[in-house]
Structure 1
Amino acid sequence: MADNPPPDLKTGAGEKRGKTSGTVADFRYKRPSQPDRKDPARQSSKTARGRVATPGEPRRFGTDGRGYRQAYAALDLGTNNCRLLIARPSGENFTVIDAFSRVVKLGEDLAATGKLSDAAMERTMAALHICAEKLRKRNVHLARSVATEACRRASNGPDFIARVREETGIALDIISAQEEARLAVLGCHILLESGIGPAVIFDIGGGSTELVLIEPGGPVPRILDWMSVPFGVVSLTDSVPPPDGTQEGRNRRYAEMRRLVDESFAPFAERVRPAAEEAETIRLLGTSGTVTTLASLHLELPQYDRQAVDGLIVPSDSMRDICRRLSTISERERRSVPCIGDDRANLVVAGCAILESIMDLWPAPKLGVADRGIREGILRSLIAADVQGEEGRASLARQRGGGL
C-alpha cells in the first residue's frame, strides 16, 4: 500500500555519519543531444495520442499520456549489494516491473583503509551502468537513489558519488543512518506479526545494523526509539581476524564477534528492556540477506525462493540453532550449503552473530522474515509524495478555473 511517509524519527543513540537527507530527488541521466525540429511549445502541450492539452490542465496521477501507469524506481547502494526496483502503482500497492541485484562488495577493505578501493568502485560502476540503462528503458517518471554506510564512512565517498553522477547520470543521495532506518521500517512493517504493544524491526546491512522500536497502528507505525551501529556483515567480518582453521579457532572468532556486537547494542538494549518486560507479546521482524538466508535453511530449500521466505514466521530457537551450526563449520563447508554459496559463505557468520545479539536484547519467541526493506520504503514514499503533489496541483487548477 502507498503509505504516507512516516514521521521523523526520534534522535537515537546511533552516531550520525554523513549527510542527513529526507529529500525526494528526480532521477537525472544524460540523453544524446538532438536537434528539435518541432515547435517546442506545441510539442510540450501534446499528449502521446496527439491531443492538445488545455494549458494548466493537470495530468491524471500515475499515468502517462497513453493512460499507462507511471513507473517509479528505487536504487539502494549498500556496502555489499547494489539493488534496483522499478514498479508501477497498482491500487494501494505497486507491481514490480523490473529489478536488479548484484553483489558489488563496495565496502571491501574499508575498515582497514578508510577508503573505497579502486576494484570495489569499478565493480560498483559496472552494476550502476546496468541500473542506468534499465531506468532509461523503463522511462521512469520519478526515482530516488540512495547510498548507505560504505559511502557514509569512506573518505572518498563524496568523490565516488560525483563520479557516478558524471558517468551514469544517477544522482545518489548519501542518507543518514536515521533515514536508512526509517525507510527500512516503511518498506517492511506490513509484515509484522499481529499483536499488542511495541515491536522491534531491524535491518542487518553490509556496513551497519539498524534497530527500531515501533508502536504499530495507523498507516505507518510510530517510531519510539532507534539505534544504528557500524557493524554489518562486511564490517564485522573485517573487524575480527579470520580463524586458524580449527574448531576452537572458529568458536573464539564467533565469541569475539558476539562481544563486539553486544557492546555496541548495549545502550539500546538498556533502553528497550522495560518495554520487553512489559509487552504482552514480544514481536521481532528482520529484513536482510542474513535473515532471508537463514529462513531458507530453516525451510530446507534447495535454492532461494522469495515467495516462500517473504513474510515467513520462524521460531527463534530454530534460527539460533542454524546460527550456531554455521558458526562451527568451515567456510568451504558453508559454500556447499544451499542458499549460501560463494557470495555469503564468508559473511553469513557475522550475520549470525548480529542476529543472535538482537534476539538476546529483544527475546521474541518467533522471528518475522522480510525480503523487502529500503527499496520498498523508497517506492512507497515516492508514490505517496507524488499523489499528494498531484492532488495539490489539481486542486489549485480547479480553483483557478472557477472550481472548488
Structure 2
Amino acid sequence: MTASANATPPELLAAIDMGSNSFHMVVARLVHGELRTLEKMGEKVQLGAGLDASNCLTEDAQLRALECLGRFAQRLQGMPQAAVQVVGTNALRVARNASAFIARAEQVLGYPVEIIAGREEARLIYLGVSHTLSDDSGRRLVIDIGGGSTEFIIGERFEARELESLHMGCVSFRNRYFGDGKISRRQMDRAITHASQELLNIRNPYRSLGWQSAVGSSGSIKAVSSVLKNLKISDGTMDLKGMQELRRRLIDMGNVRRLAEVGVRTDRQSIFPAGFAILLAAFESLAIDQMSYADGALREGLLYDILGRIQHEDVRERTISALQERYHLDQRHGLAVENTAIALWRQVASSWAIATVADEELLRWACRLHEIGLSIAHSQYHKHGAYLLRYSDLPGFTQQFQQELASLVRGHRRKLTASVFEGIDSQDVNRLRRLCVLVRLAVLLQHARNHETPPPITARAKDNTLNLNFDPAWLNERPLTVADLDNEKDYLGKQGITLNIRGKAPAN
C-alpha cells in the first residue's frame, strides 16, 4: 500500500487536456464517490499548427498556449497537486522543444505537466466515453479525432481491449490537404485515401474482433453530427450513406467559408473537411454501420483516472502486476527488495527531499520490476529492463514516469554513471539519483534471495551523505554483504555520494 492509501480524498478534481487543436479543462466535485461536473472550459489554441518545419513549437504558438493556461490556472488555485492532472498529446509528443515549453507551462500553472503516449491517450479517452454512456453489455468501438492523432478503441464496459493511436488529425490533414480553404473532389479524395492507408494496420484485427455499437467523441465528430442534422440528412446519427451524401455536399460548397451556412463555428471551419475525411475513411475501412456522438473525452478520462487512484483502483498497479506475470519475475524477491527499500526511504525521505507519494510509488515499482530484463538475457539485464520499461505501452503511465522508472532499473546495479539519467530533466536528476541509491542498497541487502525481512538498520541522510548503522551481529554473519557494501561505497563515491557504514567488526 502506498502513502496515498490513507490520504483524505480531495473535494474538487480537475483535468487539463493540452490537445494539438484545443486545450480543455474540466473541474468536478467528488460527492459520495461520484463525479459531478462543475465547470468546463475550452479554447482553440492550435498548438499543432504551431510546429515549424523542424518540428519545434514556434514562440507565437507557445504564447497562445501559455495565455490559455494562465486563464485555466486561476480556476485551479488552491487545489492539491494530487487532485489535478495536466497532459499533453500529439503536438507535444512530436515537438523537439517540448521540454522547454513544459517548463514554462508548469511555471504558469503551478502543477506538473505530463506527456502521454498515443495508446495511453486512447485508454483515457475510452475511460471518459464509457463513463458517459449506459453500462451496456457488449463491445463498443470508440473513435476520437484530435488535432494531430486519431484514437481507435474497442472495449467492453469500462475496460479497453484494443487500443491504437494513428498519426493523423484534423490540424495536420488541414495543413496538408485543405490549407487553401478550398474543398475540391481531388483534395477530399486524397485526404480520404491517406487516412485509409493509415487504417490498414488495424483494419483486419478490428473488424475481426467486432463491436455492437460505435461511438464518436471530440469536436470534429460532434461537428459532423451537427451538420448532418442541420442539413436534414439525418437526426445527427452518422451512417455510411449519410456520410457519402455529406461528402457530395461539401464538394458542392467548394470552400470552408460556406460551412457557416450549415452551422459550423468560425474557429472550426478550416479543420472541418479534414476531420470529416478521416471519419469517412474510418467508416469505409472498418465497415461501420452507424455511429452516435458521446460527450466524453480525454479530460473526463483523466478525472476518472484520478478517482480510480483515490479509490485504490489504480490501473498502474494492474500494469505492474501484468508485467511481473508476463516476464515471469520472482515476485517474492521483488517484494523483499521493495520492503527493504521502503524501510530505508521512510528514514531518509524528508532529509533527502524524496517524500512525495510519486517518489514512493516510483521506488516501489522499480523494486518490483528491477529484474525484468532477465527475460531477454542475464548479461546487461539492467539495460534490457530499462529499454522494456522506457518503450513499452504501459497503461496508466506517462512518458516521463516511464523514463524515470527505466532510469531506476537501469541504475540498480553495476556502475552508477551520468548516462543512467540521460534524457531526464536536470532538476529531477538529483531526486532520481537518491531514489536509485535506495534501490541499489535494497537489492544488495537482499542479495542472498532468501526473502528476509528488512535488516535492523538506522539510516540518516544529509546532502550527499548517507549513513547506515547496522547491528554488528547481523553484519558479522554476512561477510559477502560487507564486501558488497564496500564496493558500493566506491560506486556511489564516483557520483559524489558518500556512503558511511557503521556496525562492522574491526578487521584483524
TM-score calculated relative to the size of structure 1 = 0.69
Indicate if the aligned counterparts of 1:287 and 1:371 stay in contact, CA closer than 8 A: yes
Given the alignment, which residue of 304, 312, 333 partners 1:380? Answer: 304
Query: Is 2:23 the partner of 1:100?
Result: no
Deviations 1:182-237 (A, max 9, x none): 000000024558876533211100000111122x14xx2241x2221111000111
Structure 1 residue 264 and structure 2 residue 166: aligned?
no
Deviates more, 1:195-204 or 1:170-179: 195-204
**Structure 1 pair 146–182 and aligned structure 2 pair: CA distance change class (3 A):** same
**Mapped partners of 1:198, 1:80: distance in 2:** 29
Pick from 228, 241, 246: which aligns with 1:298? 228
Q: Which of the numbers 290, 303, 321 marks the counterpart of 1:366?
A: 290
Please list, as runs of the form range in 1=range in 2, the aligned pairs for 1:391-402 lying within 5 A after superposition. none
* Residue of structure 2 in register with 1:168 after alignment: 109
TM-fit CA distance, 1:138: 6.2
Distance 1:113 1:343, change over 3 A: farther
Measure the CA separation in 2 of the matches of 1:341 and 1:60. 43
**Count, aligned residues:** 309
Counterpart selection for 1:189 from 102, 112, 130: 130
Structure 1 residue 288 and structure 2 residue 218: aligned? yes
Distance 1:194 1:183, change over 3 A: closer
Counterpart residue identity of residue 202, structure 2: F
Compared with structure 1, are the counterparts of its residues 221 and 317 closer, same or farther at alpha carbon in structure 2 (3 Å cutoff)?
Answer: farther
Q: Offset at 1:335?
A: 3.3
User: What pairs up with 1:53-64 in 2 under 5 angstroms?
Assistant: 61-62=9-10
Q: Is the 8 A contact 2:142 2:152 kept in 1?
A: yes
1:221 maps to what in 2? 159
Which of 180, 185, 188 lines up with 2:121 in the alignment? 180
How far apart in 1 are the matches of 2:83 and 2:136?
36
Aligned to 1:23: none
> Which secondary structure state, in structure 2, belongs to the residue aligned with residue 388 of structure 1?
coil
Q: How far 1:363 sits from its partner (Å)? A: 2.4
1:339-358 counterparts in 2 under 5 A? 340-358=264-282
Question: Are positions 1:252 and 2:186 aligned together?
Answer: yes
Which structure has more relative contact order (CA 8 Å, sep 6+)? It is: 1
Q: 2:92 and 2:116 mapped to 1: Cα distance?
A: 9
Alpha-carbon distance in structure 2 between the residues aligned to 1:258 and 1:122: 33
1:335 aligns with 2:250: no
User: Relative to structure 1, is the Cα distance of residues 379 and 272 closer, same or farther in structure 2, using a 3 angstrom cutoff?
Assistant: same
- Give the secondary-structure state (helix, strand or coil) at the position aligned to 1:231: coil
2:173 is equivalent to residue 236 of structure 1: yes
How much does 1:354 deviate?
A: 0.5
Who wins on radius of gyration, i.e. which is larger?
2
- Letter of the structure 1 residue corresponding to residue 13 of structure 2: Y
Q: For the residues of structure 2 that align with 1:368 and 1:244, how far apart are their CA atoms? A: 28
Which residue number corresponds to residue 466 of structure 2? none
Give, in whole Å, the separation in 2 of the partners of 1:293 and 1:244.
17
| Structure 1 residue 114, shift from structure 2 partner | 1.1
User: What's the secondary structure of 1:226's corresponding residue?
Assistant: strand
Cα 1:136–1:290 shift into 2, 3 Å:
same
Structure 2, unmatched stretches of 5+, are 315-356, 358-508
Deviation at 1:168, TM superposition (A): 3.1
Q: Distance in 1 between matches of 2:39 and 2:178?
A: 39
Structure with a larger share of its residues in helix:
2
Segments of 5+ residues of structure 1 without an aligned counterpart are 1-25, 27-55, 63-69, 302-308, 394-404
